């Protein structure tokens, strides 16, 4: 068993679990670029929850194919640009890398939603309830969170500057 000096042990204790090494940062960036380079489908008209469920299922397949769990090309990247999801409830779903530009989430309930890398530019989230949502690397330019009930969601300082109504 390898012995570590006191300084090395202290340094390891001070490194948080989410700290990335230069190698892992490079791999994460390459993965983001690969995913971002894939063009989303044409915007989908959402008229009811069944329409939304279909989009979410296809997007989940697409994400699995990108991550190597399914054949590449399975599913379709979600493109809900301009969709009206006001008042909808989304729980425990993955919208990573989805195009959600201009989507209306006004009064929606969003719980355990993964928005990692998604584009929410000019999205409307006024009065929405957001709990435990992941916005890591999401684009929030002019996204409006005015009067939203936000709990256990992390936003970067840049995202706070870009969005409207974030603390």
Question: How many structural domains does the chain have?
Answer: 1
Asked if residue 167 lies in contact with residue 160, where contact means CB atoms within 8 angstroms, the answer is yes
Asked if residue 1 lies in contact with residue 32, where contact means CB atoms within 8 angstroms, the answer is no
Residue 37, domain member (yes or no): yes
Contacts for 107 with CB less than 8 Å, ≥ 6 apart: 86, 87, 126, 127, 128
Which domain CATH number covers 62?
2.160.20
Residue 97, domain member (yes or no): yes
Structural domain range at position 77: 20-162
User: Which pLDDT score is estimated for 59?
Assistant: 93
Residue 15, domain member (yes or no): no
Residue 57, domain member (yes or no): yes
Cα 118 to Cα 8, 11, 114, 155, distances in angstroms: 38, 34, 9, 13
pTM of the model: 0.75
User: Which pLDDT score is estimated for 3?
Assistant: 45
Residue 10, domain member (yes or no): no
Residue 144, domain member (yes or no): yes
Residue 14, domain member (yes or no): no
Asked if residue 95 lies in contact with residue 114, where contact means CB atoms within 8 angstroms, the answer is yes
- Give me the average pLDDT of each 10-residue run along the chain (167 residues): 44 48 81 64 89 94 80 81 96 96 98 97 98 97 98 96 94
Residue 13, domain member (yes or no): no
């Amino acid at each position: 068993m390898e012995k570590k000096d006191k300084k090395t042990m202290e340094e390891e204790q001070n490194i948080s679990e989410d700290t990335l090494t230069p190698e892992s940062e490079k791999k994460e960036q390459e993965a983001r670029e690969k995913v971002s380079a894939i063009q989303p489908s044409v915007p989908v008209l959402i008229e009811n929850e069944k329409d939304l469920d279909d989009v979410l299922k296809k997007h989940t397949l697409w994400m699995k194919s990108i991550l190597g769990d399914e054949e590449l090309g399975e599913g379709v990247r979600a493109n809900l640009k301009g969709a009206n999801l006001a008042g909808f409830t989304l729980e425990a779903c993955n919208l990573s890398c989805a195009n959600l530009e201009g989507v209306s989430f006004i009064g929606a309930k969003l719980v355990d939603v993964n928005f990692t890398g998604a584009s929410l530019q000019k999205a409307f989230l006024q009065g929405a309830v957001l709990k435990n949502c992941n916005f890591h690397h999401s684009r929030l330019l002019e996204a409006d969170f005015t009067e939203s009930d936000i709990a256990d969601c992390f936003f970067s300082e840049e995202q706070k500057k870009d969005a409207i109504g974030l603390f």
